[in-house]
């Protein structure tokens, strides 16, 4: 399996990790809250709320990334090393996005988000 394909698996686990961070950093998550975790997460503020928002954004961008990697892999016009580098750069952009969300750095977070979108588009461009 290629590095780019492994990046799909890695990207799939980023949103649940953000959710876990939101729950744990709230300091009040227990078994009772786990009966309706979405309602609980909607009551958060500060860092836990930002981690919850990062989780939601991760679920929103994941399908496009996975599709882009798979299209590049199936079409096969791009060098594998190019696909792998793009995959690792995308994961890096998502990690930076999460860190910026946690630190409440809105402008840098938007830049990291935009970089991720450019990288997704890049998979299609290099596949032509």
Tens of pLDDT, residue by residue over 52-93, are 999 999 999 999 999 999 999 999 899 999 999 999 999 999
The token pair that represents 65 in the structure block: 């990334």
The token pair that represents 115 in the structure block: 């970089």
Q: How many domains does the chain have?
A: 1
Question: How many other CB atoms sit within 10 Å of the CB of residue 81?
Answer: 11
Give the C-alpha distances (Å, rounded to integers) separating 119 from 1, 17, 123, 125. 20, 22, 7, 10
**Chain-wide mean pLDDT for the chain?**
93
CATH number (domain holding residue 60): 1.20.120.550
- Domain extent, residue 8, equals 3-126
Q: Is 99 exposed, middle or buried (0-12, 13-18, 19+ CB in 10 A)?
A: middle
Give me the pLDDT at residue 33, please.
63
Tens of pLDDT, residue by residue over 89-107, are 999 999 999 999 999 999 9
Least confident of 25-29, 80-84, 115-119: 25-29
């Amino acid at each position: 399996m290629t590095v780019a394909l492994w990046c799909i698996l890695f990207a799939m686990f980023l949103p649940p990790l953000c959710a876990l961070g939101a729950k744990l950093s709230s300091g009040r998550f227990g078994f009772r809250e786990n009966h309706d975790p979405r309602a609980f997460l909607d009551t958060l503020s500060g860092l836990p709320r930002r981690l919850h928002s990062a989780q939601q954004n991760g679920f929103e961008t994941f399908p496009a990334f996975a599709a882009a990697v798979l299209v590049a892999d199936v079409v096969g016009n791009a060098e594998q090393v190019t696909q792998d580098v793009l995959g690792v750069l995308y994961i890096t952009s998502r990690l930076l996005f999460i860190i910026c969300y946690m630190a409440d750095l809105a402008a840098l977070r938007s830049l990291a988000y935009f970089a991720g979108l450019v990288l997704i588009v890049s998979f299609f461009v290099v596949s032509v």
